[in-house]
Structure 1
Amino acid sequence: MSTGAAGDAAGTPTGRPARLRLPGGAAGPEGVAFPPFIDHHVHLQMVDPDAAPQAGIAGVVDLGAELTAIAALAAREPLPRVVFAGQFLTAPGGYPSDRWWLRPGSLRELPAATRADDRRALPDPIETAVAEQAAFGARLVKIMLNADAGPVFDRATVDAIVVAARARGLLVATHAEGEGTARLAIEAGADVLVHAPFTERLDDELVALAAASGQCWITTFDIHARAGEASALGTAIDNTARFLAAGGRVLYGTDLGNGELPDGVNPGELAAMLAAGLAPGELIGALSDPWPLGDPVEWGGDALATFVPGPQPQDAEELPAWLAGARVVPIENLEFG
C-alpha cells in the first residue's frame, strides 16, 4: 500500500492531497499526505518518547543512549519507530564524559587502537564495543570527536572503529566539534555527521569530498539559534549551503533532548534549512528521507503517512509553520482524490 505521495522530476516527494476521516467515519480536514517524517537526531532517554507522533514525526534515529533502555524503546509497538546507534563511543576522558545530562551506561570509553601485531590474547576492545552495539540491535555506531571538550580519537582509532562497524554491517555516525574534527570524520569515511559542521568553516575541497563520498549531514540548526549561538549557526548554514551546492545529502534532525525543543516537526529547524538553500521539495525530502533505512516502507510507510491539514503554501517562508501542524495517521484513515 502506498501513502500516495507524489514526486517531482527528481523523485523528491511532494505529497498528495487527501482528506482525513475522523473516528466514526465523519469527514475531517483536507490537507496533504507525505511519507513518514523522520527526525534523524534525537535522544529518547531525555524526552517523552510518545510525544513525537502526535506532532508529525513517525520515526526517530536515536544517537546516544544506554543499550538496554534504547533497545526496549525500539522494541515497543507504539510509534515512533526507533532506529538507534547505542552508546556514545569516546576516548578516555572525552566528551561527553563530564556532562550532567549523561545517562548512566550510555558512554563507552575506548582505548587507542593497537597494531595487529601488538595484540595479545584478550579481545580487542573496539571490536567488542561495536559487537555489543550490534547485538542490542543498533544500526549505527556513534563516534564522539569533540576537540573543544577533551581528548579525541586519533585517525588510527577512528579507522579501527569504522572497520569494526563495517564488519558488522553498521553505519558510522560522528559528532564533529572543534578544529580538525570534521576533516577527520570526512577523511575516515564516516557515513554521517550528526551536526552540520558549526565550529569552523570547511574549505570547499573538503566539502566537495564529503558530498562526493555520499556522506549525509544532519542539520540540528535550531539548537544554535535557541542558545543564541549566532556564529555557530551562521557557520553551520554556510557549510551546509556549500555542501548542498556540491550535491550533498542533507537530513532533517533536531537533537531533540538537547534543551527546550518542540517534540514534533520543528518550524525553527525548517526555517534555518530554507536559509541554507534547501528548496521546498528538498525540505520535504530531508524530512521524509528514510536514512539509515532503505525505504519509507521500513518506517511504516505502507501503513502510515504524515498528514498536514490545509493546502500547501506557495510561499516557501510559510512552509515551516504549515508543516509544524503535521500529525501521523494510518493511511486507511485518508481519502485520496
Structure 2
Amino acid sequence: MAHDPEALRDLLGPEAALCHRAITGEQGVSLPPLTDHHVHLHLIDERALAAGGIAGVVDLGGDPVALARRGDDGIPRVAYAGAFLTAVGGYPVGRAWAPPEIAREIADPSTHPGVPDGAATAVDEQASFGASVIKASLNSTAGPVLDRGTLAAIVEVARERRLPVVAHAEGDGMPQLALDAGVDVLAHTPFTEFVGRAFTAHAVKAGQVWISTLSIHGDDPGAAEFARVNLAGFAAAGGRVLYGTDLGNGDQRVGVNPDEVAALDRAGIRGAALVAAMADPWPFTDPPPGVCTFVPGAPPSGLEEIADWLRGATVVPTEELIHDDH
C-alpha cells in the first residue's frame, strides 16, 4: 500500500517520495533531511552521521572554542550550545566524560556583562563563540543546581540575545523549576517522575519543546516508563517533540537510532509525526540545504516497520535523486 505515493505520504509525511538515484538507479524513498537534536560531538565519530542518515545535529554540551573552530559548512550541519551552565560543583563538573572546557560554574546571578562567574558573562561567552542555544544544567541527583534567581537570570539574558534555553532537568521538581523559569526546551523527556496532566498542559501552553532521548534508559525500566508516559501525554496534548538520542551517552549507533525510533513509536509518536520530529530543523528555521535523507529499497508497508526500515537511511545530495511519483 505504501508503494502508492499518496499512501506513502500518509504514512511518512507530505515530503516523503518514491525516487531513484540518478547515477546508480537505486530505488528508495526520499525524506526531508533528519536531525538528531541532542548529541555530544566530542564523544563520537561524527563522520558516520551522514552515512547513517543524519544531516544535522545539535550539540548540547561541548567546548565552545572547539565548536566555533569547526566552521559552519558541510554535513552534518551543526548547531550548538557550547558549555553547560551549572551551579558551582554541579553536573557535569567532575564527570569522567566531561572535560573542564565543557562546563561553566556560575556563582553570581548578575545580568550585567563581565561579572566574574556571572550568569550574563557565561551566556555572552557562549554567544560569542556562535552558540545557537544556551544549555542549563538542573541535575539534583548529581550535585547542587542553579537556584531560581540564577536560572531566571540565564533565561533573561539568553532571551535578550534571542537564544533559546535548553535545560537538563533531572531529579524531583527539576522539570517544574525549568518550566517556572521559562526554559524553552527540555534536553530529555522528564524521566525521574511522572509530571502529570497539569504540568503537561502548562508546558504545552507555554510552548515548551521536549527532546525525546527515550532509548538511553534501556537499563532502567523505571526511568524508561516515566519517560514514555510523560512523552505520550505531552504529544497527545499537542506538545512539540524533537527526535534526539543523547548520542555519546553509552554505546549508541551513530546515525539514525532504531531504538529511539521504536521508543518514540511506543510513546504514540508514529508515522508522519515521527518523521516530523526527526526532520524538524530546530533551532534553525530551514532544513540543512542541498541534501535529503534517502532510504533504499522498498518503503515500509505499515507503522510497525518504520523503525527497522530507517536503519538503511543515508544522506545524499538532493540533485542526485529523481522522483518517481510525479
**Partner residue, 1:333:** 320
- What is the alpha-carbon distance in structure 1 between the residues aligned to residue 9 and residue 49 of structure 2? 28
Q: Determine whether 1:234 maps to 2:229.
A: no
User: Quick check: 57-66 or 210-219, which moved more?
Assistant: 210-219
Q: Determine whether 1:42 maps to 2:39.
A: yes
**Partner residue, 1:210:** 203
Shift of 1:12: 4.6
Distance of aligned partners of 1:318 and 1:155 in 2 relative to their CA distance in 1, 3 Å threshold: same
Q: 1:139 aligns with which of 124, 132, 142?
A: 132
- What is the alpha-carbon distance in structure 1 between the residues aligned to residue 191 and residue 99 of structure 2? 25
Q: Determine whether 1:305 maps to 2:317.
A: no
Distance of aligned partners of 1:176 and 1:311 in 2 relative to their CA distance in 1, 3 Å threshold: same
Q: How many residues align?
A: 318
Shift of 1:50: 1.2
- What is the alpha-carbon distance in structure 2 between the residues aligned to residue 170 and residue 78 of structure 1? 23
User: Quick check: 76-85 or 175-184, which moved more?
Assistant: 76-85
Distance of aligned partners of 1:98 and 1:120 in 2 relative to their CA distance in 1, 3 Å threshold: closer
Distance of aligned partners of 1:102 and 1:286 in 2 relative to their CA distance in 1, 3 Å threshold: same
Shift of 1:120: 12
Q: 1:64 aligns with which of 56, 61, 66?
A: 61
**Partner residue, 1:196:** 189
**Partner residue, 1:176:** 169
Q: 1:253 aligns with which of 244, 252, 273?
A: 244
**Partner residue, 2:254:** 263
Given residue 307 of structure 1, which amino acid in structure 2 is its aligned partner? F
Given residue 244 of structure 1, which amino acid in structure 2 is its aligned partner? A
Structure 1: gaps (5+ residues):
none
- What is the alpha-carbon distance in structure 2 between the residues aligned to residue 194 and residue 206 of structure 1? 17
**Partner residue, 1:82:** 78
Shift of 1:14: 4.6
- What is the alpha-carbon distance in structure 2 between the residues aligned to residue 294 and residue 12 of structure 1? 18
Given residue 184 of structure 1, which amino acid in structure 2 is its aligned partner? L
Whether the 8 Å contact between 1:212 and 1:247 is mirrored in structure 2 is no
Q: Determine whether 1:277 maps to 2:268.
A: yes
Segments of 4+ in structure 1 off by > 3 A?
Answer: 5-9, 11-14, 119-124
Whether the 8 Å contact between 1:140 and 1:170 is mirrored in structure 2 is yes
Query: CA RMSD for the aligned pairs?
Result: 2.1
Whether the 8 Å contact between 2:190 and 2:227 is mirrored in structure 1 is yes
Shift of 1:77: 3.4
Distance of aligned partners of 1:235 and 1:76 in 2 relative to their CA distance in 1, 3 Å threshold: same
- What is the alpha-carbon distance in structure 1 between the residues aligned to residue 278 and residue 171 of structure 2? 27
1:165-217 C-alpha deviation (Å, 9 max, x unpaired): 01111110000000000001112111110000000110211111111111111
Whether the 8 Å contact between 1:13 and 1:285 is mirrored in structure 2 is no
Shift of 1:130: 0.7
1:115-174 C-alpha deviation (Å, 9 max, x unpaired): x8xx89956721111111111100111000001111111111111000010111111000
Using the size of structure 1 for normalisation, the TM-score is 0.90
**Partner residue, 1:97:** 93
For 1:128, what is the secondary structure of its paired residue?
helix
Distance of aligned partners of 1:274 and 1:178 in 2 relative to their CA distance in 1, 3 Å threshold: same
- What is the alpha-carbon distance in structure 2 between the residues aligned to residue 331 and residue 294 of structure 1? 19
- What is the alpha-carbon distance in structure 1 between the residues aligned to residue 239 and residue 201 of structure 2? 8
Structure 2: gaps (5+ residues):
none
Whether the 8 Å contact between 2:9 and 2:17 is mirrored in structure 1 is no
Using the size of structure 2 for normalisation, the TM-score is 0.93
Q: State percent identity of aligned pairs.
A: 47
For 1:105, what is the secondary structure of its paired residue?
helix
Given residue 215 of structure 2, which amino acid in structure 1 is its aligned partner? D
Q: Determine whether 1:244 maps to 2:231.
A: no
Q: 2:305 aligns with which of 318, 331, 335?
A: 318
Given residue 195 of structure 2, which amino acid in structure 1 is its aligned partner? L
Shift of 1:104: 3.2
- What is the alpha-carbon distance in structure 2 between the residues aligned to residue 279 and residue 177 of structure 1? 26
**Partner residue, 1:165:** 158
Distance of aligned partners of 1:140 and 1:15 in 2 relative to their CA distance in 1, 3 Å threshold: same
